[in-house]
Amino acid sequence: MKVVLIKPYWQVEGLKVTPPLGLISLAAYLRERMKPAPDLIVLDQAALRMSVGRIEEFLKRERPDAIGITGLTFEAPAIKALAALSKRVLPETALMVGGPHATVFFDHLLENTRADMAVLGEGEVTFLELIERIREGKDWKDVPGIAYRAGDGTIAKNPAPPPIEDLDSLPLPAWDLIDLPRYSKFSEMNNILKGWPYMFIFTSRACPYGCIYCHQVFGKRFRARSVESTLEEIRRLVRDHGVKEIQIIDDIFNWDVDRAKEICRGIIREGIKIGISFPNGIRGDRLDGELIELLARAGCYSMTFAVETATPRLQQMLRKFADLDKIGWAITKAYDEGIIPMGFYMLGFPTETREEMEETIRFACRSKMLKVGFFLVVPFPRTRLFDLFRETYPDDFKLDDFNLDNMRYFTADSFYQRVTGIDLVSVLRNAYRRFYLDPGRLVNIFTRFPWNRHLLRSMYRAFPTTLAGGYKIGEWRSRLTRRRLGMEVKER
């Protein structure tokens, strides 16, 4: 049996090409649990620079028995285009969609594509059972954890299987299915690299917090791999694949502080030479001095603090409940330990005032952070944040403004700006200028950042898009790239 797994490409906010960790993890699980193991192929459209035409030729040549397409919500147009292409070329081949977008918006995808099913949430158990049923020619519509079109045209959704409790039981990702060094050629999630090749790792799943802007694809109950399992993955990456940096992308790596410390102690004890970064963020108010010191000794050189807002009122409204004083202390402590502190902030929450935005910008500028991302708030459907915007601005709220085929993480067209008249793009541009044009910060950036092509590329992209032209230049570049990859196609 032959299975093709595709990560599509739909660039909308700067070229970010990152390893398809979800797909190679699914592939590893199939290899281990399915005998004989299927022939597995992973296509990362961006990394391989594959146009739609090349993917069509590939499918015609290989004729797989099953095709799986994953993606995030901003990649919805690409998911739909590739689903249409797959069914046009191989109408009888089982086609499934999965990943974060399919988990939350499965009905949207099934209504707008000819995909046979959507795999929801944690995919390993569900995907294995689906592939086994397809291989044996059996009916698959009772498989737990899927959604599909029922006979009457409605969308049916099966109950989810229990969450995987023992994450150590999962095999290590099938790194051999991708060209791992290739990813170091592109701008990546952290925007800077100390060493390459690099690789993503997950050491835990889920987050117990209830932030209202999050879809919580893995649920709310924190589940973690053991210290030894995590160390073994790092050993294998370093020894067998020459990896020089790991990017830990857990939702909340330091929920279990003692476990986080033991992972660091293991790296130090074994003398593993590795750079460590946290591009997806780390919970700043769950860091203590000892953990920060251990992270620095273990090789951590950059750490992102997802502050979001520096106003206590909005922290309560967002249900993030972050201790801002402790986060400020942790930023300074990380800086003092030689770690590059980075930050995420959001501007334009419902009911947020200009004074509260100023408080957030001032917090960032007064901190020891050396790199920030200021984001305009985008209320994604099926979040509590979306509902809160609708409740706060009922007369201006139109569902057509939130077309899933046009959702962006970076946008110059903010709903908050439209309903309040506050020019958020100017606020954001001013925030970037105040942050980066501080002479002391500039000196620290030039002396503490790892100087290499990745930093220079990041600076090249940052200056015109954030300091001068807002997001418009980034969107213009994105259209050019999509056209070059042949992604400007209609469903057929």
Cα angle at 446 between 444 and 448, to 5 degrees? 60
Q: How many residues are given for the chain?
A: 492
pLDDT of residue 161: 94
pLDDT of residue 471: 52
Phi/psi at 457 (nearest 5 deg)?
Answer: -65, -40
Q: What is the DSSP letter of 35?
A: S
Phi/psi at 302 (nearest 5 deg)?
Answer: -145, 145
SS3 content of the chain, % helix, strand, coil (to 5): 45, 15, 40
Distance CA 357, CA 345 (A): 10
Q: Which residues pair with 382 in a beta bridge?
A: none
pLDDT of residue 230: 98
pLDDT of residue 490: 40
Q: Dihedral (C-alpha) 129, 134, 138, 141: value to the nearest 10 degrees?
A: 60
Residues 435-492 pLDDT 10s: 999 999 999 999 999 877 777 777 666 665 555 445 554 554 455 555 555 544 343 3
- CB-CB contact of 69 with 86 (8 Å): yes
Residues 70-85 pLDDT 10s: 998 888 999 999 999 9
Place of tokens 């947020």: 352
pLDDT of residue 465: 52
Residues of the chain falling short of pLDDT 50: 468-469, 473, 476-477, 487-492
Query: Token digits for 132?
Result: 């086994």
Structural domains in the chain plus CATH codes: 2-157 (3.40.50.280), 194-451 (3.80.30.20)
pLDDT of residue 425: 87
Residues 142-162 pLDDT 10s: 999 999 999 888 999 999 999
pLDDT of residue 60: 96
